[in-house]
């Protein structure tokens, strides 16, 4: 990535497929996806693609931030955010959500429901931004895309009079160290059926 050429962009609906491509490639070897979905074909697996497409589409439908790092027209990284206090839902998402559950099956759906419940319980009661998903395409990893996006959401939080910081969660112990380097602190850790999950938070002013 050329830092002088790269820029952060708002991802619009016409780039949903590109955002899905990036996230599906990024997480093709993610232990959580493998644990929940079993054998899968990575970016080519319709369950994986539908999962990340839905995660992005929620933001587009509800008007929540969906940001990317772009260089010369190519999308290198994606970050899907939930803004402070957001808890609305759009009926137009019901069909997509039902399709996602059908593709995943009852077992994975139940596990993700448990995961989502735990994550919600760990989120600070004070208003904050939440990073629903962040991923950098394999070819661009280690070049600073993640830092660009995390710096941007922290700046958004600092500029928002109601936000107290930025929260996220990860199932990767390696990522825990990386997020600590970026100023995040562990707020809790659990084991969900053998899968370690860490909740983390970076308050404003740090």
pTM of the shown model: 0.93
Order of all β-strands in the sheet with 66-71: 7-10, 66-71, 74-82, 129-136, 165-170, 195-203, 185-192
CA dist list (Å): 82 to 141, 163, 206 = 24, 12, 20
pLDDT value at position 163?
Answer: 98
pLDDT value at position 193?
Answer: 78
**94-104 and 46-62 helices cross at what angle (nearest 10)?**
160
**106-122 and 94-104 helices cross at what angle (nearest 10)?**
120
Q: From CA 154, how far away is CA 75, in angstroms rounded? A: 21
> Are residues 136 and 26 in contact, defined by beta-carbon separation less than 8 angstroms?
yes
pLDDT value at position 151?
Answer: 97
Q: From CA 128, how far away is CA 24, in angstroms rounded? A: 27
Q: What are phi and psi of 182, to 5 degrees?
A: -85, 0
Classify domain 7-203 by CATH number: 3.40.630.30
Q: Is the pLDDT of residue 42 over 90?
A: no
pLDDT single digits (tens) 127-166:
999 999 999 999 999 999 999 999 999 999 999 999 999 9
Average of pLDDT values for 52-68?
Answer: 96
Q: Which region among 37-46, 110-119, 177-186 has the lowest average model confidence (pLDDT)?
A: 37-46
Q: From CA 163, how far away is CA 129, in angstroms rounded? A: 7
Q: What are phi and psi of 15, to 5 degrees?
A: -115, 15
Q: From CA 7, how far away is CA 9, in angstroms rounded? A: 6
> Are residues 165 and 201 in contact, defined by beta-carbon separation less than 8 angstroms?
yes
Q: From CA 46, how far away is CA 104, in angstroms rounded? A: 10
Q: Is the dihedral of CA 103, 77, 153, 34 positive or negative?
A: positive
């Amino acid at each position: 990535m050329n830092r002088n050429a790269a820029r952060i962009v708002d991802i619009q609906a016409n780039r949903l497929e590109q955002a899905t491509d990036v996230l599906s490639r990024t997480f093709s070897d993610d232990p959580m996806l493998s644990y929940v979905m079993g054998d899968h074909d990575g970016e080519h697996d319709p369950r994986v693609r539908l999962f990340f497409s839905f995660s992005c589409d929620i933001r587009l439908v509800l008007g929540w931030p969906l940001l990317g790092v772009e260089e010369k027209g190519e999308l290198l990284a994606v970050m899907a955010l939930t803004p402070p206090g957001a808890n609305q839902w759009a009926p137009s998402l019901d069909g997509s959500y039902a399709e996602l559950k059908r593709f995943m099956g009852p077992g994975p759906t139940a596990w993700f429901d448990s995961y989502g419940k735990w994550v919600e319980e760990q989120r600070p009661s004070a208003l904050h931004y939440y990073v629903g998903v962040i991923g950098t395409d394999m070819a661009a990893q280690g070049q600073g895309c993640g830092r660009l996006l995390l710096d941007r959401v922290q700046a958004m939080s600092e500029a928002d009079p109601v936000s107290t910081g930025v929260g996220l969660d990860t199932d990767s112990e390696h990522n825990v160290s990386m997020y600590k380097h970026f100023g995040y602190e562990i707020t809790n850790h659990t084991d969900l059926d053998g899968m370690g999950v860490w909740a983390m938070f970076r308050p404003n002013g740090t």
